[in-house]
Amino acid sequence: MGKLHDKTVKKLIKEKPSVRHADGDGLYLMTPKRGDAYWMLRYTTAATKLRREYTIGKVVDWSLADARDEAAKLRLAIKREGADPVQERQKVNGNPFKTLNDLYADYYQLRQREIATHEKERSLYEREIAWRIGKVELEKIRPLDVSEILRDIANGYGDKPPRPTISNDVMRMLKRIFDHGMKLDVTQFNPASPFRPRDADGEEQAANYPMTESEVIEFFTKLRAIPAQFSRENYLACALLIATCTRKMELLAAPWHEFDLTNRLWHLPKERTKKRRAIDIPLSEPALSWLEELKIRSCGSDWVFPARRISRQARTPHVCENTLNHALKKLFEQGFFSFDKRRVHDLRGTARTMLGKMGVDDSLAKRCLNQQAGNRVDEIYNRHAYFEERKEAHTKLGEWLAPFVNGSETNKIVDFDAVCKS
């Protein structure tokens, strides 16, 4: 039983006869001449045997009974776990990552160096996570908060349709963010770790729908007929995505200094690739002619596809990542083509499929798409870039594609046997 009583505490606070009043077992009532009265625990650290003083809280917030309970918990932790409350509080107060937004800001700096699609990932965080739990303190975020976010996205909320793929993306992102927090020792557990794809509405199915040759012919033939609805720049972008086997933003965000048109070469640096692997892409004769036209259309810009609207609000100096997506989406929604909807990424899939049909070796076709063939050991030791072999494959692809894009042989299908033998 302690020495102090509630009436005694009130009297001591009012009279302030001295600064320290013992209750027992290291708990003291502190009544400074200036400022509010507070509870303080004195203890000795288990490791260093140092005497420390830990402020529990003000008397107006903590009753005598509450202060005794808290002091008992702290003493037990000090004795059994070797805890040091003062050191732990200093650690918390010195932690710059109070909320999830604070932690994400540091995590984003890391992702900028790791992946080329960091802007897309940041946009996803701002749209789906930040407005929900971004301002919540890290230690207050629970698995239930994560579950509600994943279910809302998977089932649809507001005017948004069900988006299971986005739900999976958010789940993986939250896991990485909280893992980053655990590495920095600013959070003790990962509230997203228990979740699996089934919690985000199931495993994702790879969406890859390459176009057939007849669909490629129809695609470019009909697009040429509507230059007002589908700009020449968009048209050439579609052609180059197939001819170079690259990803959308690797092309659309490309600056001119990466291209050596004289030597028919595009040096794509590792910073702008998904897997952080640099590659020298040989340019076929058709691809070179399309780039030369874009050089004229860019009107001296540093970018192959400069932003269409010049304004201070423009996010990037090159075209937005959604420009080509939206342009194609509108046409498919209008039933402009006779075949099912295709995404921009399916142009890359079309290139891969056609390389296979042309007899290009599977491992070489993967290298054309900058997908390293073989295992990790092969990636480290086999440094041969197969440039000449890839140059030949890109040449075949360009010769097959050029008549459809240029419109010189709209209704004529290229003889594959002839192309493959050349």
pTM of the model: 0.62
Higher pLDDT, 289 or 82: 289
pLDDT-based confidence at residue 377 (cuts at 50, 70, 90): low
Domain extent, residue 361, equals: 213-420
How high is the pLDDT of residue 413? 42
Residues 392 and 270 in one domain: yes
Residues 290 and 375 in one domain: yes
How high is the pLDDT of residue 136? 93
Q: What is the mean pLDDT of residues 275-279?
A: 84
Q: Is residue 204 part of a domain?
A: no
pLDDT-based confidence at residue 410 (cuts at 50, 70, 90): very low
Look at residues 70, 94, 118 and tell me which one is the last residue of a structural domain.
94
Look at residues 94, 123, 144 and tell me which one is the last residue of a structural domain.
94
Look at residues 175, 199, 223 and tell me which one is the last residue of a structural domain.
199
266 bridge partner residues: 259, 281
Reduced to 3 states (helix: H, G, I; strand: E, B; else coil), residue 58 is: strand
pLDDT-based confidence at residue 259 (cuts at 50, 70, 90): very high
Q: Is residue 311 part of a domain?
A: yes
The count of domains in the chain is 3
Q: Is residue 36 part of a domain?
A: yes
CATH of the domain at 36: 3.30.160.390
Q: Is the dihedral angle over the CA atoms 293, 298, 303, 305 positive or is it negative?
A: negative
Q: Is residue 146 part of a domain?
A: yes
Residues 328 and 278 in one domain: yes
* Tens-digit pLDDT profile for residues 200-251: 765 555 566 899 999 999 999 999 988 888 999 999 999 999 999 999 999 9
Residue 416 · residue 358 · CB < 8 Å: yes
Residues 194 and 241 in one domain: no
Question: How far, in Å, CA of 68 to CA of 28, rounded?
Answer: 10
Q: Is residue 207 part of a domain?
A: no
CATH of the domain at 310: 1.10.443.10
Residues 341 and 386 in one domain: yes
Question: What is the percent of the chain where pLDDT is above 90?
Answer: 54
**Phi and psi dihedrals of 27, rounded to 5?**
-90, 130
Residues 108 and 85 in one domain: no
Q: Is residue 17 part of a domain?
A: yes
* Tens-digit pLDDT profile for residues 96-109: 888 999 999 999 99
Instruction: Supply the DSSP string of 136-199, one letter for each residue.
Output: SBGGG--HHHHHHHHHHHHH--TTPPP-HHHHHHHHHHHHHHHHHHHHTTS-SS-TTTT--GGG
Residues 86 and 107 in one domain: no
How high is the pLDDT of residue 412? 43
Residue 395 · residue 284 · CB < 8 Å: yes
Question: What is the percent of the chain where pLDDT is above 70?
Answer: 89
Q: Extract the tokens encoding 220.
A: 């470019």
Q: Extract the tokens encoding 106.
A: 């540091």
Residues 237 and 116 in one domain: no
How high is the pLDDT of residue 417? 41
Most confident residue range from 13-17, 307-311, 338-342: 338-342
Residues 246 and 179 in one domain: no
Q: Is the dihedral angle over the CA atoms 239, 243, 244, 248 positive or is it negative?
A: positive
Q: Does residue 63 register a pLDDT over 60? A: yes
Residues 156 and 56 in one domain: no
Q: Does residue 420 register a pLDDT over 50? A: no
Q: Does residue 88 register a pLDDT over 90? A: no
Residues 229 and 186 in one domain: no
Q: Does residue 2 register a pLDDT over 50? A: yes
Q: Is residue 43 part of a domain?
A: yes
Q: Which residue carries 């948004």 as its tokens?
A: 160
Q: Which residues contact 319 (CB under 8 A, 6 or more apart)?
A: 233, 252, 305, 306, 307, 308
Q: What is the mean pLDDT of residues 53-80?
A: 91
Residues 389 and 283 in one domain: yes
Q: Is residue 296 part of a domain?
A: yes
Q: Is 339 left (phi over 0), alpha (psi -120 to 50) or beta?
A: beta
**Averaged pLDDT of the chain:** 86
